[in-house]
Amino acid sequence: MAEIEKVKCLIIGSGPAGYTAAIYAGRANLAPVLYEGLQPGGQLTTTTDVENFPGYPEGISGPQLMEDLRAQAERFGADVRFGLATASDLSKAPYRITIDGEKEIETESLIIATGATAKYLGLEDEKKYAGMGVSACATCDGFFYRKKVVAVVGGGDTACEESIYLAGLASKVYLIVRKPFLRASKIMQERVLKHEKIEVLFEHNAVGLYGDNGVEGVNLVKRMGEADEERYDQAIDGFFLAIGHNPNSEIFKPYVDTDEVGYIITEGNTPRTKVAGVFAAGDVADSHYRQAVTAAGSGCKAAMEAERYLSEKGLL
């Protein structure tokens, strides 16, 4: 049997949360080992301009920001590796993580920074127009649609919140809702339904997008009664998905608490999970803010907590 590698601080995930945790853990002499997963650099590598990360007055490209964060983590000794965590045993310390189904790592502390993946409708056109009019984050991309026309897909609280946020920037927001009602809370429903810039399209499905240089419109199907439907195109400039996220918490679920969607529940304002020495940072533990800077902030907290935990246990 292959030898088990022993480390003090293992970080799973290479988004802003993971790399920031690695910067802090490296500078605290925890000799962190970080596994990048299938998406080295995380979600921001799929976007062009990041204009809201502090410190970049002209904005920065997502891939460049993530390369810089990685270089900063490595400068302080983080051992950044390609590999996917495929199983965990957090039943007792030191904790056991399996990488790529074969390599075993035993770690005294663990920082889970595996992010959350936005759900899409599954249309080919969503891929075709990724970064060219299709977005799953109104806070991130709404600014690019000032005085333009956008559509939001979804019927829950998030879709309503994103519609209201976008209505503050865009000239018109179509909220595309599959059902004949909104699932959002009463108060959100009221705010959306009486908003002069938001038009709710009940019983509509988006089935395609069109445009020569990015999204110029959406193909819609309106359900009319049991058997009938009407197909039409609506001109839009931006198409926003707000149908939820999948937190990447599956392999940790038997040990840490999660909410009904799968977000890891941490103690109050801290990244502590219910397992001592196991911390969760970034989008995997944040159903609400889901921003690069908030992920980075919680990665910092997680590394500080790991340092304190290891120090109290006399493991440093």
Ligand X SMILES: Cc1cc2nc3c(=O)[nH]c(=O)nc-3n(C[C@H](O)[C@H](O)[C@H](O)COP(=O)(O)OP(=O)(O)OC[C@H]3O[C@@H](n4cnc5c(N)ncnc54)[C@H](O)[C@@H]3O)c2cc1C
Q: Which of 49, 79, 89, 137 is catalytic?
A: 137
Cα-flanking dihedrals φ and ψ of residue 190, to 5°?
A: -60, -40
Identity of the amino acid at 298: S
Identify whether 300 is a catalytic site residue: no
Binding flag, residue 283, ligand X (CB under 6 A)? yes
Q: Closer to ligand X at the Cβ: 141 or 201? A: 141
The interface mask with ligand X, positions 149-188, x = CB under 6 A, is ----------------------------------------
Q: Per CB under 6 A, which region of 6-14, 207-215, 220-228, 254-262 contacts ligand X?
A: 6-14
Residue 19, CA atoms < 13 Å, CB-side half-sphere: 24
Binding flag, residue 39, ligand X (CB under 6 A)? yes
Distance CA 248, CA 42 (A): 12
Query: Site for ligand X (CB under 6 A): which residue of 7, 8, 10, 18?
Result: 18
- Reference 275, options 246, 249, 247; nearest CA is 249
Identify whether 160 is a catalytic site residue: no
Q: How many residues lie near ligand X (CB under 6 A)?
A: 37
Q: How many CB atoms lie within 10 A of CB 288?
A: 10
Q: Closer to ligand X at the Cβ: 198 or 292? A: 292
Q: Closer to ligand X at the Cβ: 163 or 291? A: 291
Binding flag, residue 48, ligand X (CB under 6 A)? no
32: cis peptide before it, omega within 30°?
no
Q: Which of 125, 141, 283, 286 is catalytic?
A: 141
Q: Which two tokens stand for residue 83?
A: 């590999």
Q: Which two tokens stand for residue 23?
A: 């910067």
Distance CA 111, CA 298 (A): 10
Query: Site for ligand X (CB under 6 A): which residue of 26, 32, 94, 115?
Result: 115
Distance CA 202, CA 204 (A): 5
Binding flag, residue 113, ligand X (CB under 6 A)? yes
Q: How many CB atoms lie within 10 A of CB 311?
A: 12
Catalytic residues: 137, 140-141
> Which stretches of the chain bind ligand X, using CB under 6 A?
12-18, 35-40, 42-44, 46-47, 50, 52, 84-85, 113-115, 118, 136-137, 140, 248, 282-283, 290-293, 295
